[in-house]
Amino acid sequence: MKNSPRAISRITQPLKNFAQRFAYVGLVVAAFGLMMLGKVDALLVERFRAQVTDAVAPILDALSRPIATVTEFIEQGQELVALREENTRLRGEVVRLLQWQTVARQLDAENQLLRGMLNYVPDPEASYISARVIADTGGAFVHSLILNAGVRDGVRKGQAAVTGEGLVGRIAGVGTRSSRLLLITDLNSRIPVLVEPARTRAILAGDNSDRPRLIHLPQGATVSPGDRVVTSGHGGVFPAGLPIGVVAAVSDSGIAVKPFVERNKIEYVRVIDFGLTGILENPPSARPDTPAGRANGGRARTGWP
């Protein structure tokens, strides 16, 4: 029998097809396996994610710079156009804030006095780590940012990240030089909050929309649109009193909160190093992606010094 190339290919072609199909099915199974692994060992997947993010962080850092420059340029142009109106608005604001300043000074003095009388233990001093946003990721299903600061800069998992306006989110994973910031709007975000002015306790739960919702309110609590929402500090993960947003709407489907921070405007964030580990490192069996979720009970201030 002559081994012509055609005869060989007649034998090898089905084999090759079979091998290809086998590889395809194998990879599909592997993808399912990865999803299962993510469910079973979230920490392992998180570490892998951090390593991948670390590896591409310098590229993202470099690529995101020109975009930031262009954005800045456009913003400057817009500001120039609105300069007069802005000026009038700010003058009014200054007058209003001066009154507030007087009030704040009085309250501060009074507060100092009362603290002295009560031997009040002050909150630990917080230090800040500034980081640049190098990626805005997740599309429709995840709300997270990637920062160009990691373990070497002092960023730890669970720390709160803020901008001048208020709370942005919490560090969900850290690599050596990059970290992932889970926004308060993400499905996995649960933050213990207080609703002013009655200081009603609640949990702010993200649902992948722009407006996170308040859940687990105490019976009979009333919340109305315009109420400010701040972190409560329960669970010892976040410092207390960080502004988050205002109640935007109260309806049958829930209480929607409009965050102060606009996602698209975040260029830099400050990560707060509060010296607390709180509940994040206490129960090792706790689900790592919703640490604050189980913090509303009586176990407040677990990790306080």
Partner 1 sequence: MTGSFWHRLDLTARRSTPAALTVLLVLINALPLHVPGMARVVPVLPLMAIYHWAVFRPELMPTYVVFLIGVLHDALWGTPLGVSALVFLAIQGAVAAQRRFLAGKTFTIVWLGFVLVAAGAAVLAWILVSLFHFAIVDARAALVQYLMTVGTFPLISGVFLRWQRSLLQTE
Size, binding site for partner 1 by CB under 8 A? 56
Q: How far is the CB of 23 from partner 1 (least distance, A)?
A: 6
* Burial bucket for residue 235 (CB in 10 Å: 0-12, 13-18, 19+): buried
Stretch that binds partner 1, among 90-98, 114-122, 163-171, 258-266 (CB under 8 A): 258-266
For residue 215, give Cα distances in angstroms to 206, 288, 296.
10, 20, 11
Cβ(186)–Cβ(208) below 8 Å: yes
Nearest Cα to Cα of residue 288 among 128, 52, 49: 49
- Cα–Cα distance for residue pair 14/115, rounded to 1 Å: 83
Q: Which of 9, 12, 71, 111 binds partner 1 (CB under 8 A)?
A: 71
Q: Which of 187, 215, 248, 250 binds partner 1 (CB under 8 A)?
A: 187
Q: Which of 38, 254, 275, 288 binds partner 1 (CB under 8 A)?
A: 38
Q: How far is the CB of 63 from partner 1 (least distance, A)?
A: 6
Q: Which is nearer to partner 1, 138 or 288 (CB)?
A: 138
Residue for token pair 């739960």? 205
For residue 189, give Cα distances in angstroms to 109, 128, 142, 291.
37, 22, 10, 9
Nearest Cα to Cα of residue 292 among 242, 247, 249, 258: 242
DSSP 83-104: HHHHHHHHHHHHHHHHHHHHHH
Q: Which is nearer to partner 1, 139 or 305 (CB)?
A: 139
Q: How far is the CB of 74 from partner 1 (least distance, A)?
A: 9
Q: Which is nearer to partner 1, 263 or 299 (CB)?
A: 263
Retrieve residue 54's tokens: 């670390």
Stretch that binds partner 1, among 93-101, 221-229, 252-260, 264-272 (CB under 8 A): 264-272
Residue for token pair 């892998």? 48
* 134: Cα separation from own chain's centroid: 14
Q: Which of 123, 128, 138, 165 binds partner 1 (CB under 8 A)?
A: 138
Q: Which of 7, 8, 11, 23 binds partner 1 (CB under 8 A)?
A: 23
Q: Which is nearer to partner 1, 60 or 126 (CB)?
A: 60
Interaction site with partner 1 (CB under 8 A): 20, 23-24, 27-28, 30-35, 37-39, 45, 48-49, 52-53, 56, 59-60, 63-64, 67-68, 71, 133-146, 172, 180, 182, 187-188, 207-210, 262-267
